[in-house]
Amino acid sequence: MSENLKFAVIGGGSWATAIAKMLCVNLSEIAWYMRNDAAVEHIQKYKHNPNYLSSVEFDTKKLKLTNNINEAIEYADYIIFAIPSAFLDAELKNMTVSLSDKIIFSAIKGIVPETSLIVGEHFHIQYDIPYYNIGVITGPCHAEEVALERLSYLTIACGDPEKACIVAKSLSGNYIKAKISDDIIGTEYAAMLKNIYAIAAGIAHGLGYGDNFQSVMMSNGIREMKKFIRKVHKMKRNINDSAYLGDLLVTGYSVFSRNRMFGNMIGKGYTVKSAMMEMSMVAEGYYATKSAYKLNQGYGAKTPIIDAVYAVLYEGKDAKSVFKKLTESLD
């Protein structure tokens, strides 16, 4: 079914590299766009990404590498975006070709700052792409474990189940299991929110809180996520499914979690600016925190963890004092 369809990956980071690796197992050729000219040349010559997941070796005969986003889009039927949400709008402004006949899947876990929309909504509203041509790729899954070929699970959400099945089949393999969902908006919001809770987990760790408190905060986090998503998009969903709870847990606890790492630095006393400078990857939860907090001013969900992270990151409040107060609101 997917063998006759063409796929393109947009992005040069760890998730884009992991997705390109998964697709290359099942497809004879994919287009891969990254704006870094040196990285394109390095992959063509040495068969691995010099900046992310460098242990992954590619069969370059299967890669149509390009530093021109229009070439990748023109090539493909299915386009998978895997770039930080903070840079998505700027990348899309480089397009001169239309997306109207393309099927868009997002592997981006965040909010587009310029529009305060999740990625699927951004493509629908800004580019008039129907929701049945928009999908989401979410976890629980770390790109680093895909590189190590450790058993990982994906959730593919789309309003059109046939398209979800095509993407699931194209990404599945011996160590990748993919299931489909019809909760496009809920899974995408969950993928955004879990990064905020991972920052909270990191801050708590940096402040010296132990596993007992972390478990209570994650338990409260999934309930908080449920309340938030229900306000945004009410439908029947099981918040304990892997796409929600599983993704939250792996992001909150894993050593590979850049959001937890970022939070840990903040808890240890780093300023936001210094923590961001020291990290080589973007912590999506930083941008998501502001967007989620502002959105919730209209929704009115009870979100003490999001409020606490916002107070530390954007209001400059003392993390120790804020989290001491947070402990009193959790149960």
Q: Any known ligand binding at 164?
A: no
Closest CA to 201 of 31, 54, 46, 330: 330
Q: Any known ligand binding at 258?
A: yes
Q: Which of 61, 194, 268, 290 is catalytic?
A: 194
Structure tokens at 205: 């760790």
Interior angle at CA 98, CA 96 and CA 99, nearest 5: 130
| Side chain identity at residue 34, one-letter code | M
- 3-state class of 61 per DSSP? helix
Closest CA to 313 of 243, 259, 257, 250: 259
Burial class of 214 by CB neighbour count within 10 A (0 to 12, 13 to 18, 19+): middle
Give the C-alpha separation, 206 to 224, whole Å.
Answer: 22
- Determine the distance from the C-alpha atom of residue 142 to the mean position of all C-alpha atoms in its chain, rounded to a whole number: 10
Q: Any known ligand binding at 256?
A: no
CB proximity list for 315: less than 8 A, separation 6 or greater: none
CB proximity list for 41: less than 8 A, separation 6 or greater: none
Burial class of 63 by CB neighbour count within 10 A (0 to 12, 13 to 18, 19+): buried
Q: Any known ligand binding at 58?
A: no
Q: Identify any residues that bridge with 78 across adjacent strands, giving them in sequence order.
A: 7, 103
Give the C-alpha separation, 331 to 216, whole Å.
Answer: 7
Q: Is 194 a catalytic residue?
A: yes
How far CA 215 is from CA of 111, 309, 330, in Å, comes to 26, 17, 11
Q: Any known ligand binding at 147?
A: no
CB proximity list for 170: less than 8 A, separation 6 or greater: 2, 7, 22, 23, 26, 27, 78
Give the C-alpha separation, 78 to 158, whole Å.
Answer: 13
DSSP code of residue 99: -
Q: List residues forming the annotated binding site for NAD(+).
A: 87, 143, 258
Q: List residues forming the annotated binding site.
A: 87, 109, 143, 258-259
Q: Which of the residues are catalytic?
A: 194
